[in-house]
């Protein structure tokens, strides 16, 4: 019999794959469910190099109710399932405004399908991958979990709000459920081994993958989206968190949930420190001894001015705090880019 199995939907993705590593380090057996719709099977090679074995993966679409039911049934016959971590989702803000239906179907559909399958198989523990985007531009920063949920700026953001609500409602109807709604700030960096990292398909929309590709001369210079925001240097402020720290928080959340009886808690995962885009560029240059080709440009529609986390709840409930520095994250991000390749 297998023990301590944890189902990880989207386990081949960026945050999912890093979480798989940390789960194994803490004695869990992650079972991945991923259809590679937004990830690459090569992730399994990187995971094998780190772990010395390939984690088990079911190539299944999380919106396929029949397949999800069969998969969870098969996994549960082999031993206990300690919990489910649900990463599988699309996450490109811009794309979501062009293809909202795809985002609704996939992000909300997969969460509803999963909750249904969990109920049928008596699974009670769920860690959900949410986002600080649910806060919009909060009135006060650092933002804590009691801040109101503001109307979403994008269909992507709306899907996260709806999924949080769906899980809250499911928990209210099945009080035996324990759920953590993990609100990520800006995950960056890669595993220090450079065996896994972010693999954006096509043109990267997020700051760090674009920055590393521009520095590698694979893209035109980075455009800083707006330098006229009401911040000290005029550029937007975010809370950049190392993906390995974020991954560890999922294991801490799982452990905590296993000791609860009937909770559904939103929990911020950030460092508690805000950095402007120009500060990030400077930190990258110092960390790696390189110049980042960049230019100032106009604002990107939908961007908020500044957000960073009050991460006290994660500390008090989960005993977790982010440990890695911005520079460490930016060094790991660059080493990962070197592994993926540069123009040389």
Residue with smaller CB distance to ligand UD1, 206 or 342 = 206
What distance in Å separates the CA atoms of residue 222 and residue 213, rounded to the nearest whole number?
9
Q: Closest approach of Cβ 1 to ligand UD1, in Å? A: 38
| 225 contacts ligand UD1 (rule: CB under 6 A) | yes
Residue with smaller CB distance to ligand UD1, 24 or 277 = 277
CA atoms within 13 Å, Cβ hemisphere of 34:
29
Q: Closest approach of Cβ 167 to ligand UD1, in Å? A: 17
Site for ligand UD1 in 243-282 (CB under 6 A): 277
Maximum pairwise Cα distance, the chain: 60
Considering only 224, 241, 269, 333, the residue that binds ligand UD1 (CB under 6 A) is 224
| 304 contacts ligand UD1 (rule: CB under 6 A) | yes
* Per-residue binder mask for ligand UD1 (CB under 6 A), 152-191, x = binder: -xx--x----------------------------x-----
Token couple for 64: 């396929």
Residue with smaller CB distance to ligand UD1, 246 or 252 = 246
Considering only 168, 223, 325, 342, the residue that binds ligand UD1 (CB under 6 A) is 223
* Per-residue binder mask for ligand UD1 (CB under 6 A), 43-72, x = binder: ------------------------------
156 carries an active-site annotation: yes
Point out the catalytic residue in the list 28, 90, 103, 156.
156
Q: In sequence order, which residues have a C-beta less than 8 Å from that of residue 290 and are 6 or more positions away?
A: 215, 284, 334
Residue with smaller CB distance to ligand UD1, 34 or 153 = 153
What distance in Å separates the CA atoms of residue 148 and residue 150, rounded to the nearest whole number?
6
Q: Phi and psi dihedrals of 83, rounded to 5?
A: 170, 175
| 91 contacts ligand UD1 (rule: CB under 6 A) | yes
What distance in Å separates the CA atoms of residue 42 and residue 57, rounded to the nearest whole number?
13
| 131 contacts ligand UD1 (rule: CB under 6 A) | yes
Q: Closest approach of Cβ 257 to ligand UD1, in Å? A: 22
| 283 contacts ligand UD1 (rule: CB under 6 A) | no
Binding segment for ligand UD1 (CB under 6 A), chosen from 74-82, 104-112, 222-230, 318-326, is 222-230
Binding segment for ligand UD1 (CB under 6 A), chosen from 9-17, 149-157, 175-183, 243-251, is 149-157
85: β partners? 8, 127
Considering only 43, 81, 88, 93, the residue that binds ligand UD1 (CB under 6 A) is 93
Give the residue numbers marked as catalytic: 156
Residues that bind ligand UD1 (CB under 6 A): 91, 93, 131, 133, 153-154, 157, 186, 205-207, 210, 222-225, 236, 238, 277, 300, 303-304
């Amino acid at each position: 019999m297998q023990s301590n199995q944890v189902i990880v939907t989207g386990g081949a993705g960026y945050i999912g794959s890093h979480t798989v590593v940390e789960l194994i380090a803490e004695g869990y057996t992650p079972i991945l469910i991923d259809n590679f719709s937004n990830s690459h099977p090569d992730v399994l090679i990187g995971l094998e190099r780190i772990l010395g074995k390939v984690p088990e993966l079911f190539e299944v679409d999380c919106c396929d109710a029949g397949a999800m039911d069969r998969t969870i049934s098969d996994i549960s016959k082999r031993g206990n399932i300690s919990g489910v971590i649900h990463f599988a989702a699309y996450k490109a803000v811009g794309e979501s405004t062009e293809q909202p239906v795809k985002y609704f179907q996939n992000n909300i559909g997969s969460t509803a399908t999963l909750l249904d399958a969990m109920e049928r198989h008596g699974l009670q523990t769920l860690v959900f991958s949410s986002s600080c985007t649910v806060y919009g531009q909060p009135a006060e920063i650092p933002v804590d979990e009691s801040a109101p949920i503001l109307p979403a700026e994008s269909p992507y953001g709306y899907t996260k709000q709806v999924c949080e609500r769906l899980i809250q409602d499911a928990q209210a109807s099945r009080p035996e459920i324990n759920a953590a709604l993990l609100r990520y700030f800006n995950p960056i960096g890669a595993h220090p081994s450079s065996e896994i990292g972010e693999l954006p398909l096509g043109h990267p929309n997020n700051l760090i993958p674009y920055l590393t590709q521009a520095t590698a001369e694979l893209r035109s210079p980075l455009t800083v989206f707006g330098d006229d925001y009401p911040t000290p240097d005029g550029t937007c402020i975010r809370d950049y968190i190392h993906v390995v720290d974020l991954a560890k928080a999922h294991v801490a959340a799982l452990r905590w949930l296993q000791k609860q009886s009937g909770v559904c808690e939103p929990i911020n995962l950030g460092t508690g420190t805000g950095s402007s885009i120009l500060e990030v560029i400077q930190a990258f240059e110092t960390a790696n001894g390189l110049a980042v080709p960049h230019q100032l440009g106009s604002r990107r529609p939908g961007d908020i001015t500044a957000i960073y986390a009050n991460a006290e709840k994660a500390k008090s409930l989960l005993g977790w705090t982010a440990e890695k520095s911005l520079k460490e994250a930016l060094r790991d991000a660059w080493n990962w880019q070197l592994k993926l390749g540069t123009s040389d």
